[in-house]
Amino acid sequence: MFLQNAACWSVPGGARATPHLSTSLASALRSCDIAHAKAIQALGKFASCDVGDALVQIGLRHGGYLSGLKMYSPGSNGTVAKIFGPAYTVRMVPSADKTSPTPPCHFADAIPKGSVVFVSQPKGLISACWGGLMSTRAKKLGAAGVVIDGQFRDISEHQELNMGLFARGTSVLGSNTFTRSSELNVPVQYDNVEVDEKVTVTPGDYILGDQDGVVAIPVAHIEECVRLCQERYEIDQKTLEGLEAGEEMGSLIKKLRK
């Protein structure tokens, strides 16, 4: 279901379905597979700030940054918290919309293990489209986190579940009379309102969120993103050491960032 954009990740399934495949190609695919899995694992260790900068360098206008989302759970208790996983997207429509598709099942029952649930709510509403019962189900299915492009409710319940949850805001109102789910795992648009930019979140894009914010990482860029993050991380570590030793920011940047 995920990762349909990831050349070296989507093929192995095909490979397993094709026993005639030459041994050398199969092994090449397998090693590609492993490299990709390692890249994903490495990616999850970086901060949203590292990743955003790397994606800007790669050429994404705002580095996949989804501006305006706040971490509401597990809460601002000082501990470092992060969500990371491939996006499982849910497109909501107004309840009054009777023509848009209806999903084959409740959207909370189709959450893939390890995924970040990404719910896109129509704008201009003050109702929620996610709540405590949803997080209970998501936890049961092994979700890695939740991002609500809109409002959610039952703050304390998500915190009790220790579910990583980001949203634009809160509400007391359930979705019932206001919105309904329409399509699952389709590309959705996230609006960076301040800069009039629509970021497409494609199912399988990796979502990484921490205290500073949320970024969406297209699968095609994962390897390059990790390489740049690693490179910059080392520079930042050396800069930090230099600063702690009393060196000047200006000369450290000149020396290290080249």
Among 6, 39, 53, 143, binds a copy of itself (CB under 8 A): 53
C-alpha of 34 from chain center: 21
* Total Cβ atoms within 10 A of residue 86: 23
Among 89, 120, 121, 239, binds a copy of itself (CB under 8 A): 239
Q: Could you say whether residue 146 binds a copy of itself (CB under 8 A)?
A: no
DSSP helix/strand/coil, 154: coil
The answer for residues whose C-beta is within 8 angstroms of residue 247's C-beta and 6 or more apart is none
The Cα 140–Cα 138 span in angstroms is 5
134 marked ligand binding residue: yes
Q: Could you say whether residue 201 binds a copy of itself (CB under 8 A)?
A: no
Q: Could you say whether residue 31 binds a copy of itself (CB under 8 A)?
A: no
Q: Could you say whether residue 105 binds a copy of itself (CB under 8 A)?
A: yes
Closest to 190 in 3D by CA, of 179, 201, 180:
201
Q: List the structure tokens of 78.
A: 């000082």
Q: Could you say whether residue 190 binds a copy of itself (CB under 8 A)?
A: no
C-beta of residue 225 within 8 angstroms of C-beta of residue 60: no
Number of residues engaging a copy of itself in binding (CB under 8 A):
60
CB of 85 to a copy of itself, least distance (A): 17
CB of 18 to a copy of itself, least distance (A): 34
Ramachandran class of 72: left when φ > 0, alpha when ψ lies in -120 to 50, beta otherwise: alpha
**Which residues are known binding-site members for substrate?**
131-134, 153
Residues in the site for a copy of itself, rule: CB under 8 A? 47-49, 51-53, 56, 62-63, 65, 67, 75-78, 80, 105-106, 108-109, 124-127, 131, 133-134, 136-137, 140, 153-156, 159, 170-174, 176-177, 192, 194-195, 211-215, 236, 239-240, 243-244, 246, 248-250, 253
